[in-house]
Amino acid sequence: MGARFAVIVFGVTAFLANGQDASVGLNSLTPVEFSQLSQSDPNPLGENALAIRPDQWKHAETEHFIYHFVHDFVATPVSTEAEFHYRVVVKELQRDPLTTDIKSHIYIFERPEEWQQFQQFGHLEQWTGGIHSAGSLFIQRNPAYRFADNSLGHEIVHLVLHRFYTDAIPCWLDEGLAQFISKDSQASYQRARGHLSKPHSESIAPGDLIPIRTLTMLTYPPSDRVHTFYNESERLVRFLETTDKPSFLKLLDALARHQPFETALGQFYPANFATVAGLDEKFRDYASKDFGSSLQQVSN
Ligand SMILES: [Zn+2]
Distance from residue 280's CA to the centre of ligand 1 (Å): 23
The Å distance, Cα 9 to ligand 1 centre, comes to: 50
Q: How far is 232 from 212, CA to CA, in rounded Å? A: 9
Q: What is the 3-state secondary structure (H, E, C) of the chain?
A: CHHHHHHHHHHHHHHHHCCCCCCCCCCCCCCECHHHCCCCCCCHHHHHHHCCCHHHCEEEECCCEEEEECCHHHHHHHHHHHHHHHHHHHHHHCCCHHHCCCCEEEEEECCHHHHHHHCCCCCCCCCCCCEEECCEEEEECCCCCCCCCCHHHHHHHHHHHHHHCCCCCCHHHHHHHHHHHHHHHHHHHHHHCCCCCCCCCCCCCHHHCCCHHHHHHCCCCCHHHHHHHHHHHHHHHHHHHHHCHHHHHHHHHHHHCCCCHHHHHHHHCCCCCCCHHHHHHHHHHHHCCCCCCCCCCCCC
pTM of the model: 0.84
Residues with CB under 5 A from ligand 1 (ion): 125, 175, 178
Instruction: Report pLDDT for 146.
Output: 59
pLDDT digits 0-9 by tens, 13-63: 333 333 344 444 557 899 999 999 999 999 999 999 999 999 999 999 999
Q: Give strand pairing partners of 138.
A: 107, 131
Looking at residue 200, its pLDDT comes to 80
Distance from Cα 221 to the centre of ligand 1, integer Å: 9
Residue 142 Cα to ligand 1 midpoint, Å, equals: 20
Q: Please, which residues have CB within 8 angstroms of residue 170's CB and are 6 or more apart in sequence? A: 216, 219, 255, 261
What stretches in the chain show pLDDT beneath 50? 1-24, 295-300
**What residues contact residue 192 under an 8 Å CB cut-off, 6+ apart?**
84
**Centre of ligand 1 from the C-alpha of residue 217, in Å:** 16
Give residue 26's pLDDT: 54
| Per-residue model confidence (pLDDT) at position 95 | 82
Scored b (16 or more CB within 10 A) or e, 163-177 reads bbbeeebbbbbbbbb
191 Cα: distance to centroid of ligand 1 (angstroms):
24
Distance 22 CA to ligand 1 centre (A): 35
C-alpha of residue 127 to centroid of ligand 1, in Å: 7
* 242 half-sphere exposure, CB direction, 13 A CA radius: 13
Q: What is the pLDDT of residue 202?
A: 85
What are the φ and ψ backbone dihedral angles of 160, each rounded to 5 degrees?
-70, -40
pLDDT at 148: 63
